[in-house]
């Protein structure tokens, strides 16, 4: 089959996937990004096409949707919708987070699960891909309300998960508090202390050191590897970071540790720019302890910081950019602004935060671009290390976990870089990540037969 024939076949398959999965634009976007890079792989390895691997890979092994009824503090009954998409288990048990946010729907969960398959494959740690969550909004809810919701959610989810089957973790709206409530209900229902069934646990009861920091730290380590490839390092670089949640905060922490200067943070109300650099302790106090808004940071920081309501954080000139909030937050116009202001490298801390148009603009302008499936794999990597510790009932030191994280992120960068070169796309980390992840999953699927 010629390159043109292969591309035509992939385009036809993509059209079928869109028709079969209507009203799921995020899932379509994630699938399209992968399919458009696979033509040279299918030419080199025709057995992949003959075995229908791509068709199977784009269809989840299992999709679970369920009702989640719960009572608020006034006794009023609410009903939310719960999801778990178990996408692919060729390399190991399904692994991926739970997201509690009003935007969650089946298409969002499928896009996240699809991305997770390749991300997890890149870690080399023997974990499959899945994702889940609910359209429940935890903002403004009491601890008791969140506990009741989590207990109701787990009352259905428990029958679908297990340390050798499916291992959820946290994501947007799901932190250590929520994982604790979910684990407690799982233990109550099953009468088993199965620590490896959830990751992101509290450090006193099975959680791993460095897990809260891992996604942000890993993103910065990937950024550092891209810069090293260009003969630079992070020392003295000005960084623009979006978001103010877990990923953003620990992205900033690692940037500061490696000599860079993050000057922004954001939430749904707007963004803050701090000319002196973000005061991380103040931001942690407001976001992690008080659960406040970034506008409060500007009020308490003083003259160096200002809050821009409803603004675009990408307006701020910087050397490097690390989108760390949510999907499709950085579009073509934002990319043009960043390029005009001299950005050198972009690394995705969030899942698919950059639109396809923006990715193309960065690549055309020679900006190093680290896709989320590679750059933010540090979180799931340390989750897998947490599973390892749980299996042996041991706890590693922070230094050991961080050393493993650094090694894994370096290996992911090397794998993506070398794969891109091997397939004639030097410097294209998107192509490298997609193909490397695909090959690992595809080879396992081939070995295991048509299932």
What element of type H or E holds 19? Answer: helix 3-20
Q: Of 70, 94, 91, give the one whose Cα is nearest residue 80.
A: 70
**Backbone φ/ψ region at 20: left (φ over 0), alpha (ψ -120 to 50), beta:** alpha
Residues 197, 165 contacting (CB under 8 angstroms): no
Distance of CA 204 to the CA centre of its chain: 25
For CA atoms 415, 416, 421, 424, give the dihedral sign: positive
The HSE-up count of residue 246 (CA atoms within 13 Å, CB side) is 18
174 DSSP β-pair partners: 171
Burial class (CB in 10 A: 0-12, 13-18, 19+), 366: exposed
- Largest pairwise CA distance in the chain: 65
Q: DSSP of 235-258, one letter per residue?
A: TT-EEEE---SHHHHHHHHHHHHT
What's the CA gap between 289 and 283, in Å, rounded?
A: 9
- Given 95, 110, 119, 131, which residue is catalytic? 131
What's the CA gap between 375 and 202, in Å, rounded?
A: 25
Q: Is 95 a catalytic residue?
A: no
| Helical residues (DSSP H) of 158-279, grouped into ranges | 176-190, 214-229, 246-257
Distance of CA 161 to the CA centre of its chain: 20
Catalytic residues: 131
């Amino acid at each position: 089959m010629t390159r043109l024939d292969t591309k035509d076949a992939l385009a036809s398959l993509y059209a079928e996937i869109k028709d079969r999965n209507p009203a799921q634009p995020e899932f379509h976007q994630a699938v399209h990004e992968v399919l458009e890079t696979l033509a040279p792989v299918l030419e080199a390895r025709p057995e992949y096409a003959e075995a229908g691997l791509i068709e199977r890979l784009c269809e989840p092994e299992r999709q679970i949707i369920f009702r989640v009824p719960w009572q608020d503090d006034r006794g009023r009954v609410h009903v939310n919708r719960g999801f778990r998409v178990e996408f692919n288990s060729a390399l190991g048990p399904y692994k991926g987070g739970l997201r509690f946010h009003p935007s969650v729907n089946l298409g969002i969960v499928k896009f996240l699960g699809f991305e997770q398959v390749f991300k997890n494959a890149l870690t080399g740690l023997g974990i499959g891909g899945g994702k889940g969550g609910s359209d429940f909004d935890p903002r403004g809810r009491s601890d008791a309300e969140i506990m009741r919701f989590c207990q109701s959610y787990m009352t259905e989810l428990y029958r679908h998960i297990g340390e050798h089957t499916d291992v959820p973790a946290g994501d947007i709206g799901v932190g250590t508090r929520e994982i604790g409530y979910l684990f407690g209900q799982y233990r109550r229902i099953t009468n088993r202390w199965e620590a490896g069934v959830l990751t992101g646990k509290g450090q006193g009861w099975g959680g791993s050191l460095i897990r809260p920091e891992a996604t942000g730290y890993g993103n910065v380590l990937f950024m550092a590897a891209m810069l090293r490839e260009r003969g630079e390092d992070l020392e003295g670089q000005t960084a623009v970071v979006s978001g103010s949640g877990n990923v953003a905060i620990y992205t900033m922490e690692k940037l500061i540790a490696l000599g860079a200067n993050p000057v922004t943070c954001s939430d749904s109300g707007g963004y803050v720019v701090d000319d002196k650099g973000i005061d991380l302790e103040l931001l942690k106090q407001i976001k992690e302890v008080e659960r406040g808004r970034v506008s409060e940071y500007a009020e308490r920081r003083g003259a160096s910081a200002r809050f821009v309501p409803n603004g675009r954080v990408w307006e701020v000139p910087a050397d490097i950019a690390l989108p760390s909030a949510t999907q499709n937050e950085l579009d073509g116009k934002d990319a043009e602004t960043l390029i005009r202001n001299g950005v050198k490298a972009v690394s995705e801390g969030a899942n698919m935060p950059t639109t396809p148009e923006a990715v193309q603009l960065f690549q055309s302008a020679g900006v190093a671009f680290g896709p989320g499936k590679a750059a933010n794999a540090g979180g799931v990597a340390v989750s897998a290390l947490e599973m390892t510790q749980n299996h042996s009932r041991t706890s590693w030191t922070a230094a050991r976990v961080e050393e493993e994280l650094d090694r894994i992120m370096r290996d992911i960068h090397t794998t993506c870089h070398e794969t891109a070169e091997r397939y004639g796309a030097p410097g294209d980390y998107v192509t490298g990540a997609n193909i490397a992840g695909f090959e690992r999953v595809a080879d396992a699927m081939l070995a295991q037969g048509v299932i």
